[in-house]
Amino acid sequence: MRKILGLLLVLFIAGASNAQIIKPATWKVSLSETKPEKGQEISIIYDVKIDQKWYLYSNDFDPDLGPTVTEFSFEPHESYELIGDPQPINPKRKYDSLWEGEVSIFYEKAQFVQKVKILDPSYVIKGGYSYQVCSDIDGKCILFDDTFTFQSKGGSKSEKKSTDESKGLLEQRSSTDAYSLASFMLVAFLAGLAALLTPCVFPMIPMTVTFFTGKDNHKKGRYVNSLFYGFSIILIYSLIGLVLAPFMGPETANDLATGWIPNLIFFTVFVVFALSFFGLFEITLPHKWVNSVDAMGDKGGLIGVFFMAMTLVLVSFSCTGPIVGSILVESAGGLALKPVLGMVAFSAAFAIPFTLFALFPNWLNSLPKSGGWLNSVKVVLGFVELALAFKFLSIADQAYHWGLLDREIYLGIWIVIFSFLGLYLLGKIKLPGDSDASNVSVGRLILSMITFTFVVYMIPGLFGAPLKAMAGYLPPMSTHDFNLVETIRSSGGTAPVTSVNEQCEDPLYDDFLHFPHGLKGYFDYEQALECAKATNKPIFVDFTGHGCVNCREMEARVWSEQPVLSRLQQDFILLALYVDDKTELPENKWYTSSYDNKVKKTIGKQNADYQITRFNNNAQPFYVILSPEGELLTEPTAYDLNVDNFVAFLEKGKQALRKR
């Protein structure tokens, strides 16, 4: 029985290990004409199917920028000649703040076309392609390559599909992260509650009570009308999201999130909304529309109730419009129904109180009276809208390298905005519509304290502090003109200790491969192994890549922390294995892989093959701790921004070596 259980356990572990080979893209290579005549021009067509939440880098941007571009190769043959280069068909262009440049990518599907002139009807066309796919969910970036052959004889070999089509190894992803969707709906719901406290909406509560007082006084009729009223409010807002849903798919999300034109438009819209909330002007719908709908509300039955709900929506538009617009902007991406769900969450919070007041009109007596506090809510929302507007301008600024919003300037703007918000909450600033108050309420005092705390948190960022909690909202650190933290580090104040011992050889390839934060280590497995034996230290293996986004984020947010950095400096022999480096090795170092029977000629190909064959994994970043003999000391780990978890991983590897 123990042997059976042991065998099952081994099979389970092997199965779980195999499942780590991720292949999110399927390639199909075909010819536009399989029986061409001599002198005819035909096309080699590369069709790629990409898993949801993954994207493929194209081949039409600067290959030195960072990400690995898709590359194509062909074996010369007298039967054909190439016409131009492979052309990508309609990739999406975006500015990538991490790489500080414009890249082009494909979502869901991709296509490349290579023109070929046939010189001999008995043609033989052999070639290959390499590419990088990355995940929108967890930032994994994976490299692949494959070959194809076309020949005129014996049609069975005329087309070879990529080995990426092997089934059962694809990592399945849901169309949208459930947690992020739930968070988005929660924010939309809270926005609906905030909208209730605006000057355009709050006065509609007495109107609702007046409308339902005297209508169907019997209990059943009151319940039906009130519930239908709430349902109508949700329906009207949800229809707005439903109309926009077809335009909010993954590709549109990418355009909205990264394109400079839409971001410039969003910046303008948010500024206009903010100025409206400040009281400079009022955004209103034509009075003719509102009056017509209001007149329809005088009709009896459920039709009158529906038009009363529409009247509420239209009258409150000047306050809810900016909030609704903000939700719809944030809803772009992933799930096509996300705008609908956002509107459902927003309108539910908006509708529930009105439904309850329609059911229980006597509650009206317990409400606070309208006053300046309503205008204060609107002004606070205006400050938030204004701050968020600069996020959109920042993306446009980086795309065109205008240099308007370097990191410290962006931070300076936010510090000023939120300082003014804090002063407003303390009553030091008055705007149109505000009432004169002789004292500050406890609620406003607490909110001002929170606001000023946030301001104090941002101030060190002006001098180069990373402000990790705001990483997604700030321009890249490379745009920071005066980085005091980096200046001190580079001047020797906190210079890291080398992790390469004097007993060891100088590292190969360190003239073009590097570690972050001044760390020293190796880029060749055999060298690292020899140094580990000489020093009796464990080897920290970092499977990384030049174009790996999450590798850079781990280095910036986890490796930079002192508990991690000090351990890497002192306790390990560091080995960085770049899986996408294209440096070709001498021929005597080439070998044929047991995994795919292909000759591995470059540093990157050999490192990637080592990761797959030894650890059955092909995603980066991927971290392994080995003994000086090359044995695995602890379970490998991957992308995880929790510093404590990474420290525990390092400590576990050290302890395992001590036990040996």
Q: What would the pLDDT profile of 77-121 be if each residue is shown by its tens digit?
A: 999 999 999 999 989 887 776 676 788 899 989 999 999 999 988
What is the helix (H) or strand (E) element at residue 458, kind and residue range? Answer: helix 442-458
| Cα dihedral 644, 646, 649, 651 in deg (nearest 10) | -60
Q: By three-state DSSP, how is residue 279 classified?
A: coil
Phi, psi of 520 (to 5 degrees): -120, 145
pLDDT, greater one: 38 or 170 = 38
Q: At what angle do helices 287-296 and 301-315 cross, to 10 degrees?
A: 160
Q: Are residues 150 and 187 in the same domain?
A: no
Q: Are residues 537 and 626 in the same domain?
A: yes
- Residue 350 belongs to a domain: yes
Q: What confidence tier does 491 reach under pLDDT thresholds 50, 70, 90?
A: low
β-pair type (71-75, 80-88): unpaired
Q: Are residues 199 and 335 in the same domain?
A: yes
Task: State the pLDDT at residue 445.
Answer: 92
**How many residues are recorded in the chain?**
660
What is the helix (H) or strand (E) element at residue 577, kind and residue range? Answer: strand 573-578
Q: What confidence tier does 552 reach under pLDDT thresholds 50, 70, 90?
A: confident
Contact indicator for 165, 144 with CB cutoff of 8 Å: no
Q: Cα Rg for the chain, rounded, in angstroms?
A: 31
β-pair type (539-544, 622-626): antiparallel
Domain boundary among 165, 187, 206: 165
- Measured from the Cβ of residue 321, the count of other Cβ atoms closer than 10 Å reads 17
Half-sphere exposure of 597 toward its Cβ, with a 13 Å CA cutoff?
2
How many Å apart are CA 309 and CA 210, to the nearest integer? 14
Task: State the pLDDT at residue 154.
Answer: 45
Domain boundary among 165, 193, 226: 165
Q: At what angle do helices 204-212 and 301-315 cross, to 10 degrees?
A: 170
- Residue 133 belongs to a domain: yes
Domain boundary among 103, 130, 165: 165
Which of 320-324, 367-371, 501-505, 540-544 is the least confident region?
367-371
β-pair type (599-600, 124-135): unpaired
Burial status of residue 265 (CB atoms within 10 A of its CB: 0-12, 13-18, 19 or more): middle
Residue type, 389: A
Residues 6+ apart with CB under 8 A from 576: 513, 515, 521, 522, 523, 542, 544
β-pair type (101-107, 92-96): antiparallel
Residue 89, domain extent: 24-165
- Measured from the Cβ of residue 270, the count of other Cβ atoms closer than 10 Å reads 25
Above pLDDT 90, what percent of the chain?
27
Two tokens, residue 491: 């001047």
Q: Are residues 241 and 334 in the same domain?
A: yes
Task: State the pLDDT at residue 9.
Answer: 38
What residue spans of 88-203 are helical by DSSP H? 178-196
Q: Are residues 468 and 548 in the same domain?
A: no
Supply the CATH number for residue 613's domain. 3.40.30.10
Taking alpha carbons only, the member of 91, 85, 101 closest to residue 50 is: 91
Taking alpha carbons only, the member of 25, 30, 27 closest to residue 125 is: 30
How many Å apart are CA 318 and CA 277, to the nearest integer? 9
Task: State the pLDDT at residue 8.
Answer: 38
How many Å apart are CA 229 and CA 219, to the nearest integer? 15
Q: Which of 486-505 are b and which e, b meaning 16 or more Cβ less than 10 Å from the residue's Cβ?
A: eeebeeeeeebeebbeeebe
Taking alpha carbons only, the member of 476, 527, 468 closest to residue 501 is: 527
Q: Are residues 183 and 161 in the same domain?
A: no
**Structural domain count of the chain:** 4
Q: Are residues 190 and 150 in the same domain?
A: no
Across 146-163, average pLDDT:
59
Across 287-299, average pLDDT:
59
pLDDT beyond 70 at 585: yes
Taking alpha carbons only, the member of 597, 574, 596, 600 closest to residue 585 is: 600
Contact indicator for 620, 551 with CB cutoff of 8 Å: yes
Taking alpha carbons only, the member of 321, 187, 332 closest to residue 246 is: 332
Q: What is the mean pLDDT of the chain?
A: 78
Which of 323-332, 340-349, 385-394, 565-574 is the least confident region?
323-332
Q: Are residues 152 and 99 in the same domain?
A: yes
Q: What confidence tier does 174 reach under pLDDT thresholds 50, 70, 90?
A: very low
- Block residue for tokens 């008055």: 430
- Residue 393 belongs to a domain: no
Half-sphere exposure of 577 toward its Cβ, with a 13 Å CA cutoff?
27
Task: State the pLDDT at residue 173.
Answer: 32
Q: Are residues 186 and 161 in the same domain?
A: no
β-pair type (573-578, 539-544): parallel
Across 310-330, average pLDDT:
70
Q: Are residues 359 and 417 in the same domain?
A: no
- Residue 504 belongs to a domain: no
How many Å apart are CA 537 and CA 529, to the nearest integer? 10
Residue 373, phi-psi category: left (phi > 0), alpha (psi -120 to 50), beta (remainder): alpha
Residue type, 3: K
